[in-house]
Amino acid sequence: MRHAWRTERAEKLRALRAQLAGVQCKIGQKRYRSVKDLQARADTCLRHSAVGKFMCAEAYLTRDGQLSLRWWVDRAMLWQAMQSDGRYLLATNDWSLSTARMLELYRSKDGIEKRFEVAKQDLKVSPLYVHSDERIEAMLLLNMLALLVYSLLERQAQRHGLKLTTRRIIEQLDSLAVIETQCWDGSVLSRLTPVNDAQAQLLLALDQIIAALVIPPSWTALTPPLRPLTLPPPLRRAGVGC
């Protein structure tokens, strides 16, 4: 972040220097013939630039009476701004959090907000021709369930040390396909297209992550205990036991 901010600032300073050089080239033209007018043009460039506060410009007359313009960087102002590059204030009431954990939690808030983006604006899905309220509610339910699965997969992947978003996981596995061959006896043969090393490692990691999510249902907690089954005595016919 610090490198990005400084690179962007340097580019804006170069652009501002080019604008001031353009003002200097217009000396002698209309509205560029006095110190006051030239200074006003230079001040306009500084005021409209995002980095204008780091630059100073001065219009002046040389010893031979020629109008000129000079500019320079305010090094003290620039140095003061550079001290805060890549830094911002985070506050919390949880004293057990480390600075790295605070930053991680703060940066993850955007992901949580984007999860609910689907409920805050128009739903962007493929056209589905549903007319009844029941089918519209079913479509929204499926969309929210897919969103829940999407979020859970990303959360579990990060908890298991897999630093990938769900979108990135889908992109890496997008080239995979399953080929199904239906045989004459009714059986079906499924084959997976060739997998590279990165995809194979990702599939193994996802297999462990998904297996940790699957919790077998506890049927005993849902149904009352069964009574022992008592069979009736066997029927007997003349000389024959059943």
Q: Give the three-class secondary structure for 72.
A: strand
Residue 198 CA to residue 196 CA, distance in Å, equals 6
Mean pLDDT of the chain: 82
> Residues of the chain with pLDDT > 90: what percent?
33
DSSP string, the chain: -HHHHHHHHHHHHHHHHHHHHHHHHTTTSTT-SSHHHHHHHHHHHHHHSTTGGGEEEEEEE-TTS-EEEEEEE-HHHHHHHHTTTT------S-TT--HHHHHHHHHTHHHHHHHTHHHHS----------SHHHHHHHHHHHHHHHHHHHHHHHHHHHTT----HHHHHHHTTT--EEEEE-TTS-EEEEEPP--HHHHHHHHHHHHHHHHH-----HHHHSPPPPPP-PPPPPEETTEE-
Q: How confident is the model at residue 118 (pLDDT cuts 50, 70, 90)?
A: low
Phi and psi dihedrals of 70, rounded to 5? Answer: -130, 155
Encoded tokens for 72: 């320079």
pTM (predicted TM-score): 0.47
Query: Does the structure show a pLDDT above 70 at 26?
Result: yes
Give 137-187 pLDDT, tens digit per residue: 888 888 788 888 888 888 888 888 888 888 888 888 888 888 888 888 888
What pLDDT, in 10s, does the model give residues 195-235?
A: 888 888 888 888 888 887 766 655 554 455 545 444 445 44
- Residues of 168-205 as b/e, b for ≥16 C-beta within 10 angstroms? ebeeeeeeeeeeeeeeeeeeeeeeeeeeeeebeebeeb
Tokens representing residue 230 in the block = 């008592």
Q: What are phi and psi of 190, to 5 degrees?
A: -105, 130
* DSSP H or E stretch at residue 237: strand 236-237
Q: Are 27 and 38 within 8 A, CB to CB?
A: yes
Query: What are the residue ranges spanned by the domains of the chain?
Result: 2-82, 93-121, 126-179+197-212
Give the tens place of pLDDT for each residue, 50-71.
999 999 999 999 999 899 999 9
**Whole-Å CA distances, 112 to 89, 99, 105, 116, 125:** 21, 20, 11, 7, 20
> Which pair of tokens denotes residue 93?
């009431």
